[in-house]
């Protein structure tokens, strides 16, 4: 199913201008959804019998600083095949543009529970909040971490002396002795 066919099937069900076909460099159907209608469109993608995108596989974001809207949140969906064994499984990429000054999206954890941790990761790395999320807290970075490291304006200067490790050099006799010693330890 193409992105155009998906948009056509949803057009009568969602507000005008809430979903449109997006260009993609690969063959995966891609749509852009207006942030204000994200939850409504995603429910229709999940619940429509001919679509059945019941699996939310992943979510990530891209920071396009200095462009505005600054962020693009990308969600990958899958359908095992609408109506049973006769239909072909489908994949869909959903993009949502998010302005930098108001980096907030509604949570999708009520539509797909698997989005809970994905939204936490996007918040942790990019600082994009998810309104209505049940437990929006750090998931990758330590709790006391300041900032969001995947942002393009995150300071990355490190004032630390690089550590240099030299490989361990053994003579053939030392190596053979280590092998014999470790072999005895395993047998005992």
Domain extent for 111? 3-158
The answer to whether residue 46 sits within a structural domain is: yes
The answer to whether residue 164 sits within a structural domain is: no
C-alpha pair distances (Å), 166 with each of 130, 163, 169, 173 = 46, 10, 9, 20
For residue 17, what pLDDT band results from cuts at 50, 70 and 90? confident
The answer to whether residue 70 sits within a structural domain is: yes
Going by DSSP bridges, is the β-strand pair 129-131/104-106 parallel, antiparallel, or unpaired? parallel
79 DSSP β-pair partners: 90
> How far, in Å, CA of 136 to CA of 102, rounded?
17
pLDDT at residue 167, rounded to an integer:
65
The answer to whether residue 18 sits within a structural domain is: yes
Query: pLDDT above 70 covers what percent of the chain?
Result: 87
Contact 129/104 with Cβ under 8 angstroms? yes
The answer to whether residue 186 sits within a structural domain is: no
Q: Collapse the DSSP code of 100 into the 3-class scheme (helix H, G, I; strand E, B; otherwise coil) and give the result.
A: coil
* The three-state (H, E, C) secondary structure of the chain, written as one string: CCHHHHHHHHCCCCCCCCEEECCCCCCCCEEEECHHHHHHHHHHHHHCCCCCCCEEEEEEEEECCCCCCCEEEEEEEEECCCCCCCCCCEEEEEEEEECCCCCEEECCCCCCCCHHHHHHHHHHHHCCEEECCCCCCCCCCCCCCCCCCCCCCCCCCCCCCCCCCCCCCCCHHHHHHHHHHHHHHHHC
pLDDT at residue 78, rounded to an integer:
93
For residue 188, what pLDDT band results from cuts at 50, 70 and 90? low
User: How far is residue 111 CA from its own chain's centroid?
Assistant: 16
User: In a 10 Å sphere around its CB, with 0-12 CB exposed, 13-18 middle and 19+ buried, how is residue 96 labelled?
Assistant: buried
The answer to whether residue 97 sits within a structural domain is: yes
Q: Which residue has the higher pLDDT, 186 or 9?
A: 9
Domain CATH code at residue 11:
3.30.460.80
The answer to whether residue 182 sits within a structural domain is: no
In 3D space, the residue among 9, 7, 123 whose CA is nearest the CA of residue 60 turns out to be 123
pLDDT at residue 99, rounded to an integer:
97
pLDDT over threshold 70, residue 104: yes
For residue 8, what pLDDT band results from cuts at 50, 70 and 90? confident
pLDDT in tens, 46-89: 998 888 899 999 999 999 999 999 999 999 999 987 555 456 77
Number of structural domains (the chain) is: 1
The answer to whether residue 184 sits within a structural domain is: no
Least confident residue range of 41-50, 98-107, 121-130: 41-50
For residue 148, what pLDDT band results from cuts at 50, 70 and 90? very high
pLDDT over threshold 70, residue 128: yes
């Amino acid at each position: 199913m193409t992105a155009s066919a998906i948009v056509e099937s949803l057009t009568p069900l969602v507000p005008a201008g809430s979903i449109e076909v997006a260009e993609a460099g690969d063959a995966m159907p891609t749509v852009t959804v207006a942030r204000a209608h994200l939850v409504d469109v995603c429910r229709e993608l999940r619940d429509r019998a001919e679509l059945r995108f019941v699996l939310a596989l992943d979510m990530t974001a891209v920071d396009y600083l200095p462009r505005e809207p600054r962020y693009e949140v990308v969600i990958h969906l899958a359908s095992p095949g609408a109506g049973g064994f006769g239909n072909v499984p489908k994949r869909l990429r959903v993009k949502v543009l998010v302005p930098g000054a108001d980096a907030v999206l509604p949570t999708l954890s009520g539509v797909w529970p698997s989005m809970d941790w994905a939204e936490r990761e996007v918040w942790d790395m990019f600082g994009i909040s998810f309104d209505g999320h049940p437990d929006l807290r750090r998931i990758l970075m330590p709790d006391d971490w300041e900032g969001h490291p995947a942002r393009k304006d995150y300071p990355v200067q490190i004032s630390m002396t690089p550590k240099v490790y030299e490989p361990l050099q053994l003579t053939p006799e030392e190596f053979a002795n280590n092998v014999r010693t470790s072999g005895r330890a395993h047998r005992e």
